[in-house]
Amino acid sequence: MTTRGSSSVSDVVDLLVELIANACVNDGTPDSGGELRSVRTLQRFFRAEGTVIEPHPGRASVVYRIAGTDPEAPALALLPHLDVVPASSEGWTYPPFSATRADGMVWGRGAVDMLNVTAAMASVFRRYLDGDAEPLPGDLVFAAVADEEAGGAFGAEHLVTRHWDLVRCEFLLTEVAAPPFRTSERVVVPVTVAEKGPAWRRLRAHGATGHASQPYGSRNALLPVAGAVARLGDARSPVAITDEWVRFVDGIPLDAEIRAGLVDPDRVDETIDRIAQDDPDLARWAHACTHLTVAPTMLHAGAKANVIPDDAEGHVDVRTLPGQEHADVDDHFRKVLGPTLRDELEIEPMLEFPATGSVPEGPLWDAIGDAVERVTGARHLVASMTPVTTDARFFRARGVTAYGVGMFDDSVTFGEMLGMFHGVDERVSERSVELTAALLSDVVAAFGDRIRTHS
C-alpha cells in the first residue's frame, strides 16, 4: 500500500515525512536550503517558538534549551541537521521529495541523512519540553541546524562561534546513526565517536594561450592538471591502521581471517577486495577507514575547443585519518606527482579540518550502553569512525564529547545504509525511526541517571 505524506505532525514518522517533503535542499549556494520551512514544522511540532537564528534569509536553525535542576551539572545537546543534499528523480523508485510511505518504509532524500534522527530527537525532546519526562540535572538542548551538508557556515559553525551561550554543552548527540551488526548470537550497535578530516587541495597551472591548430611548443595549462589528477586518482593511497580501527574490528562479528587481514597493513587491501565481492558498500567504507583517501572531483580549463587554455584548475577531495597531519598529504602528493609535475603546479589547501574524535568512555558512553542493554538485552557497543565530515567537529573543537547512535530493524544492513547516504532510493523503515526514538529516549534518561548518581 502506498500513501502520500500527510501534513499532520502527530508522531515521529509523520514528522519525518513532513521534513522530507519540505525539501530543504542545500546545493552549497547561500540561497538554497530553505531550512526555515523545517524550523516552522518543528515549531508546530513543539508548540513552542524556540530561538531562531537566521544568518542569511531562509537559512534558519532553531534552538530550545531546558534548564536542568543542578547548575553545576553538565549539559547534553541534541544536534540534528535540517538540510539534505540534492537529488534528481533519476533512478528513484518514488520521487525523492514525495516522502512516500510504502510497505513499512519512508522513501525520500534525507530518510537516513539525517531526517530520521532529526524526527527521533525531536520526539524525545518534546517529552522534556512538555514536562512528561523527569528534568535532567544539567541543561537539555535541542538545536536543529541548517547547512550541515555544505560546511555549516549558516548552521552549526555559526551557532558555535556566535551563539555559544545558546548551544553550550559538555555532551552532544549528532551524526552518524547506522544499523547494528547482527549475527544469530549478537547485536552490536555502532556508535560514531570519530570522523576523518577533510584536507582538500586545489591544483592550478598557468600556461600561454594560442591557436590549438598549432600546438607545437605550446604551454597548455590543462596538461599538467589533467596529468596530476589522473596520477592522484590511480595511485594507491597510503594505509594507516589506527587504534580506532583496531578497536572497531575487534568489536564487530567477523570471520577470523577477515578480522586479521583488516588490521594488517600489508593485507588490508586484499582483504577489502575480498569483502567487496559480497558487500561493496562495506568495502568502500572499510577502505576509507584505513587509508588517506584521494579523489579528484573537479576540473576546469579552457574556453573554446580551438584555443589552448592558459589556466587550468583541479579540485581533489582528500581525507585524513586520526593521527595523519596535513604534511602527510603534501608528502603523498610530492611522491605521486614527482618533481616535474609538481614544479608546474600550484597546490593550495581548500577545506582543511583535522580528524576529530571523542573517547568512548564517560557518562554519555555509559548511558548509551544502558539504553542498548535495555533494547537488545546485551551491552554490545562498538566505537566507530565515519569518513564523512559532520557538525560534531565544531563541538569537539570546544572540548565537547560528541557521538552518533540510533537503532534500526533488519530491513537494511550497515553496508546498504552507507550506500544510501547521498545515494538513490534513500529510505528507512518506520519501525527503525520508532526504534531510534525509543533508544535516544532511553539514552537521555540514562544520562540523567548517570549524572545524578555520580554527583
- In the beta sheet, which residues pair with residue 239? 291
Distance of CA 316 to CAs 28, 68, 162, 293, Å?
A: 17, 46, 31, 10
How many residues belong to the chain? 455
State which residue, 9 or 176, has the beta carbon closest to Zn ion: 176
From the CB of 454, what's the least distance to Zn ion, in Å? 32
Does residue 117 touch Zn ion according to CB under 5 A? Answer: no
From the CB of 105, what's the least distance to Zn ion, in Å? 19
State which residue, 114 or 440, has the beta carbon closest to Zn ion: 114
Does residue 195 touch Zn ion according to CB under 5 A? Answer: no
From the CB of 251, what's the least distance to Zn ion, in Å? 23
The region of 112-120, 128-136, 197-205, 328-336 touching Zn ion under the rule CB under 5 A is: 112-120
Residue in the shown chain whose Cβ atom is closest to Zn ion: 113
Does residue 114 touch Zn ion according to CB under 5 A? Answer: yes
The region of 105-113, 328-336, 346-354, 392-400 touching Zn ion under the rule CB under 5 A is: 105-113
Strand segments (E) across 266-362: 293-301, 307-308, 311-320, 346-352, 356-357
State which residue, 386 or 401, has the beta carbon closest to Zn ion: 386
- In the beta sheet, which residues pair with residue 190? 382
Round the CA-based radius of gyration of the chain to a whole number and report it: 23
State which residue, 231 or 422, has the beta carbon closest to Zn ion: 422
State which residue, 113 or 344, has the beta carbon closest to Zn ion: 113
216 Rama class: left (phi>0) / alpha (psi -120 to 50) / beta: beta
From residue 305 to residue 324, what is the string marking binding to Zn ion with x (rule CB under 5 A)? --------------------
User: How many helices (H) and strands (E) in the chain?
Assistant: 15, 20
From the CB of residue 2, how many other CB atoms can be counted at a distance below 10 Å? 10
Give which of 400, 398, 392 is closest to 155, Cα–Cα. Answer: 392
Q: List the end-to-end C-alpha distance of the chain, in Å, as a whole number.
A: 52
The region of 42-50, 108-116, 273-281, 407-415 touching Zn ion under the rule CB under 5 A is: 108-116
State which residue, 139 or 147, has the beta carbon closest to Zn ion: 147
State which residue, 114 or 121, has the beta carbon closest to Zn ion: 114
State which residue, 296 or 415, has the beta carbon closest to Zn ion: 415
Spatial neighbors of 425 by CB under 8 A, at least 6 apart, are 91, 92, 93, 107
State which residue, 21 or 345, has the beta carbon closest to Zn ion: 21
- Total of residues contacting Zn ion (CB under 5 A): 2
Give the three cell numbers for residue 367.
548511558
For helices 243-251 and 280-290, the axis angle rounded to 10 degrees is 150
Give which of 346, 321, 351 is closest to 333, Cα–Cα. Answer: 346
Distance CA 115, CA 98 (A): 14
The region of 13-21, 111-119, 253-261, 322-330 touching Zn ion under the rule CB under 5 A is: 111-119
The region of 27-35, 110-118, 296-304, 403-411 touching Zn ion under the rule CB under 5 A is: 110-118
From the CB of 156, what's the least distance to Zn ion, in Å? 11
Output the furthest CA–CA distance in the chain (Å, rounded). 80
Distance CA 83, CA 60 (A): 10
From the CB of 388, what's the least distance to Zn ion, in Å? 7
From the CB of 422, what's the least distance to Zn ion, in Å? 9
Q: Which of 35, 113, 147, 170 binds Zn ion (CB under 5 A)?
A: 113
Binding residues for Zn ion, per CB under 5 A?
A: 113-114
